[in-house]
Amino acid sequence: MRNCWRAIVVLVIAGVTSLGFPGRTSATPIVILIGNCDVAMAQATIDAGTWYVEIVSGNQSRISPAITGPTTFGMAMTFSPPLAVGTSVVALFLDSSQRPTSNNTFYVCTSNAPLPCSNPDLIDGRLNATCADPVQTAALYCNVDAASLQVDLLRNSKGVFAFSITEQELDRFPTRPKVNTLIKQALGIQLWRLTTGELQFNTPHNDVYIFRHRLGVPVTFFQMCTGAAYWYRPS
């Protein structure tokens, strides 16, 4: 997947970026926009209030449903016909009246190369993105505070709430226990703290997700939600 990045422009914007639209209201979202000449995907972390996200290129556009913040929201748009190489794609934030704000980002499509897999998933935010884990039986989500998780059991591709857990609950247990320690469980999904400091999720279908910090320190939910910790399966 890494080679695909060479043909794709990815922009991560924090705060306000203006393309010169005077008189527009402003918000303070964070947006990730990624795409090629066939499809664009945007993920936005949005402040309190009602907002919309629009992806637009030439005469093709798509506006999201109303989004009530604070939250994280993702959407995708497929271009039909595909865009010509060199065409700009813009993601705009719209206020509650669907008026453009000063917040936006863009990329210039350079190819139809496949998009790289992204963890967390850009569309729905799950930590175990479907592109990396297509036959998954559980979905792991970060809450807006980036310090707590929601865990869903997947049945026939539909999520069933299993449990949520906060950093405060996790902190009641040693970060490097002498034996692997069960932290929480429901609907057959278990969360364990390992002796290595890693966090392991087991599902009733024997899927295993182990989260490891890139520096080897004990894993926190904040690290999982911000990308400092990544998941893998034991070999």
> Burial level of 93, CB count in 10 A (0-12/13-18/19+)?
buried
Query: What's the average model confidence in pLDDT over 199-206?
Result: 93
Query: What's the average model confidence in pLDDT over 106-134?
Result: 83
Looking at the chain, the domain(s) classified CATH 2.60.40 span 2-108
Q: How far apart are CA 221 and CA 23, in angstroms?
A: 40
| In the predicted structure, residue 216 carries a pLDDT above the cut 70 | yes
Q: How far apart are CA 229 and CA 211, in angstroms?
A: 6
Model confidence, pTM: 0.66
Coil vs helix vs strand at 34: strand
Topology adopted by domain 2-108: Immunoglobulin-like (2.60.40)
Q: How far apart are CA 76 and CA 63, in angstroms?
A: 10
Between the alpha carbon of residue 56 and those of residues 35, 71, 129, 159, 165, the distances in Å are 12, 22, 25, 31, 38
| In the predicted structure, residue 43 carries a pLDDT above the cut 70 | yes
